[in-house]
Amino acid sequence: MRKTELILILAGILLAGAAAPPPVTTIAQVLAALDRGDAQAAQSLSDTALQQGELDARIRASLLLYRGLASELLGAHEAALGDLTRAIESRALPSEELGQAYLQRGFLREGQGLLDEAISDYDVVIAQKGYSTATAFNNRGNIYFRRNRVMDAQRDYLAALAAEGGQSQYSYYGLGRVAESEGDKRAARDFYAKALALDAGYATASERLAAVGGPPAAADPAERIVLRPPVAGDASKTGLGDAIALRPPSPKKDKPSEAPAVPPQSPFMPVNASMLRPALDQSDVRAAAGGEVQLGAWRSTEEARAAWDQAKVRAQGALDGLTPQILAAELPGKGRYFRLRVRSGPGQSGARICARLTAKALDCFVVRG
């Protein structure tokens, strides 16, 4: 072989190596970023991976799903909705991830007022009978209640209590609303108290309990509240028997207190939880007019508070006069996150705040609808 030909071959090999894409970001890295509450890193990692060449269809679908979850944590609802829809339509997601995608898309559609479409997504999750079944029952029940389909709502809340993976405080709260709408204040008080016994920080349950007369008096431990699915309905769809018995909270010597308020000295503004929603607060609807920025999302309120203290120091005055808010958001299959946000003051814009924070090497983005 002549020297010239050898040089050309070697040059071709080097060029091919230079053009080869870097290793594809693994799903594990994206999930690790979500697990530690770093939605921006999860989004960035997913972006990089999706820009690679040929990807296995299942990997691409999973990356779209998790980028959608990251976008939702970051408040980018339209981007999240697009990614979730593409992940679903790929028909490549494994069953558990498919349930997550449908459930999360249901939340987003519900937040946009697309209630029929949200119900359709919840129907798919319920039919799967997976980990997210209870959450789907709760959210479909919420929509039925809003539409005055009280018996359908009651049936879904009961089904949620019997299903896997739910947070029962939301089912009890829903049952309290049903009882209250039917004029049964005693049962409503019992259900709201039950919700608060499971989640002392459930602000909306605390408000409704106060509205119907406060915590119930100590009850006979043998007393039982029995709820039966409507006779006209098909109980087989709920997976329940003829009746489900729910015990009121166990009697205590001291009167149960209402959900603890944020201490006056705390710089954090209390934010009411969304009525009945076991995931994704609706604060973005309120803040869509602009002026709200997010500094990040963490796995606990303590971490979010610590992040605020650190940001105040590093911002060197850029955050002075602003009041932080910590908003809870739960991602199906991933757990609860806590978003740290602030609203701009008079004469300030979210973009200006973020520009000043970015100059101090702090993460920040303007919350958009």
Give residue for tokens 């028997």: 241
Give residue for tokens 């008080």: 189
Tens of pLDDT, residue by residue, the chain (369 residues): 555 554 454 455 444 444 444 444 577 888 888 777 788 888 888 888 888 877 888 888 989 998 998 888 888 889 999 999 999 999 998 888 898 899 999 989 998 899 999 999 999 999 998 878 888 999 999 999 999 999 999 999 999 998 866 678 899 999 999 999 999 999 999 999 999 888 888 888 888 999 988 887 654 444 444 444 444 444 333 333 333 333 333 333 343 333 333 333 444 433 333 322 333 333 333 333 446 788 888 878 888 888 888 888 888 888 887 888 887 776 655 667 788 888 876 666 777 788 778 777 787 777 765
The closest of 60, 136, 141 to 99, measured between CA atoms, is 136
Q: Where are the beta strands (DSSP E) in 232-272?
A: 244-246
In the chain, count H helices and then E strands. 15, 6
Q: How far apart are CA 167 and CA 198, in angstroms?
A: 9
Tell me if 166 sits within 8 A of 134, measured CB to CB: yes
Q: How far apart are CA 175 and CA 26, in angstroms?
A: 43
Q: How far apart are CA 166 and CA 157, in angstroms?
A: 10
CB neighbour list of residue 64: distance below 8 Å, 6 or more residues apart: 46, 50, 83, 84, 86, 87, 90
Phi, psi of 264 (to 5 degrees): -55, -35
pLDDT for residue 156: 95
For the CA atoms of 253, 255, 258, 261, the dihedral, rounded to the nearest 10 degrees, stands at -80
Q: How many CB atoms lie within 10 A of CB 318?
A: 20
Within 74-198, where are the H helices? Answer: 77-89, 95-111, 115-128, 133-146, 150-162, 168-181, 185-198
Q: Running DSSP on this structure, what letter comes out for residue 253?
A: S
Q: How many CB atoms lie within 10 A of CB 157?
A: 33
pLDDT for residue 154: 94
| Alpha carbon separation from 340 to 292, 298, 332 (Å, rounded) | 10, 8, 20
pLDDT for residue 239: 35
pLDDT for residue 259: 37
The closest of 18, 37, 91 to 61, measured between CA atoms, is 91
- Cβ burial of 226 (10 Å; 0-12, 13-18, 19+) is exposed
Q: Which helix (H) or strand (E) holds 65?
A: helix 57-73
Strand partners, 341: 294, 325
Q: How far apart are CA 191 and CA 257, in angstroms?
A: 15
The closest of 92, 90, 113, 170 to 136, measured between CA atoms, is 170
Cα Dmax for the chain? 99
Instruction: Please give the model's pTM, rounded to 2 decimal places.
Output: 0.60
pLDDT for residue 15: 47
Strand partners, 339: 297, 327
Q: How far apart are CA 42 and CA 22, in angstroms?
A: 18
Q: How far apart are CA 119 and CA 141, in angstroms?
A: 9
Tell me if 122 sits within 8 A of 103, measured CB to CB: yes
Q: How many CB atoms lie within 10 A of CB 61?
A: 23
* Beta pairing, strands 365-366 & 292-298: antiparallel
